[in-house]
Structure 1
Amino acid sequence: MAMLVGAAQLGAALAGWLVVQLGRTDEYGRPSFAPLGLLCVFVFGPPLLLFLGAVHTALMTMPSDLAAQALARRAKGALWQWRCAAPVVIGAAYAAALAAAGAPFLYCWAGISASAALPLLCVAWFRRREERRGRPYSRGEVWFRVLPAGLLLTVAVTVACGVALGTGAIGDYTPPRPAKEAMAGVWASEDGPAELLLREDGVAVLTAMPYDGWDREGSCDGTGTWSYAAGAVEFDVAGEYCRVGTWTVGGSAERPELYALFGDPDAGDVRILVQQAAR
Structure 2
Amino acid sequence: MRKPVSSEGTGSDGTVGMLVCAAQTGALLAGVVVVESGRTDAYGRPPGSALGLVCVLVFAPPLLLLFGAVHTFVMTMPADLLARAALRRADGALWQWQCGSVVALGAVYAAGLAAVGAPFLCSWAWISGSGALPLLAVAWFHRGERRRGRPYSKGDVWFRVLPAGFLLTAAVMAACGAALGTGAVGAYEAPSPTGEAMRGVWVGEDGRAEVRLQADGRAVLSAVPYGDWEEEGRCDGTGTWSYVPEDGAVRGTVGFDLAGEGCPVGPWTVGGTDERLELYDLFGDPDGGAVRVLVRQGPG
Classify the TM-score, shorter chain: 0.7 to 0.9
Q: In structure 1, which of residues 109, 116, 128 is the aligned counterpart of residue 143 of structure 2?
A: 128
SS at structure 1 position matched to 2:288:
coil
Q: How far has the Cα of 1:206 moved from its partner?
A: 5.1
User: Match for residue 163 of structure 1?
Assistant: 178
Residue 125 to residue 232, structure 1, CA distance change in 2 (3 Å):
same
Residue 133 to residue 241, structure 1, CA distance change in 2 (3 Å):
same
User: Match for residue 11 of structure 2?
Assistant: none
Contact 1:186 1:195 in 2 (8 A): yes
Q: How far has the Cα of 1:198 moved from its partner?
A: 4.2
Unaligned runs of at least 5 residues, structure 2: 1-15, 247-251
SS at structure 2 position matched to 1:74:
coil
Say what the alpha-carbon RMSD is for the aligned residues. 3.0
Unaligned runs of at least 5 residues, structure 1: none
Q: How far has the Cα of 1:202 moved from its partner?
A: 5.1
1:74 aligns with 2:89: yes
Residue 69 to residue 238, structure 1, CA distance change in 2 (3 Å):
same
Residue 64 to residue 179, structure 1, CA distance change in 2 (3 Å):
same
1:115 aligns with 2:130: yes
- Aligned-partner residue type, residue 256 of structure 1: L
Residues 227-275 of structure 1 show CA distances to partners (whole Å, capped at 9, x for unaligned) of 4132112345546965433210123334422221111112212233344
User: Match for residue 245 of structure 1?
Assistant: 266
- Aligned-partner residue type, residue 245 of structure 2: A
TM-score calculated relative to the size of structure 1: 0.84
Residue 128 to residue 278, structure 1, CA distance change in 2 (3 Å):
closer
- Aligned-partner residue type, residue 244 of structure 2: Y
Contact 1:190 1:273 in 2 (8 A): yes
User: Match for residue 268 of structure 1?
Assistant: 289
Contact 1:202 1:227 in 2 (8 A): no
Residues 118-160 of structure 1 show CA distances to partners (whole Å, capped at 9, x for unaligned) of 1122212222222222222222221111100000111111222
User: Aligned partners of 1:112 and 1:146: how far apart in 2?
Assistant: 21
Residue 191 to residue 92, structure 1, CA distance change in 2 (3 Å):
closer
SS at structure 2 position matched to 1:178:
coil
User: Aligned partners of 1:194 and 1:81: how far apart in 2?
Assistant: 57
Aligned residues: 279
Contact 1:91 1:112 in 2 (8 A): yes
User: Match for residue 152 of structure 1?
Assistant: 167
1:96 aligns with 2:111: yes
Residue 237 to residue 50, structure 1, CA distance change in 2 (3 Å):
same
User: Aligned partners of 1:99 and 1:214: how far apart in 2?
Assistant: 41
User: Aligned partners of 1:209 and 1:91: how far apart in 2?
Assistant: 46
Contact 1:247 1:260 in 2 (8 A): yes
User: Aligned partners of 1:89 and 1:122: how far apart in 2?
Assistant: 20
TM-score calculated relative to the size of structure 2: 0.78
SS at structure 1 position matched to 2:88:
helix
Q: How far has the Cα of 1:52 moved from its partner?
A: 1.1
SS at structure 1 position matched to 2:151:
coil
Residue 151 to residue 222, structure 1, CA distance change in 2 (3 Å):
same
| Percent of pairs with identical residues | 63
User: Match for residue 244 of structure 2?
Assistant: 228
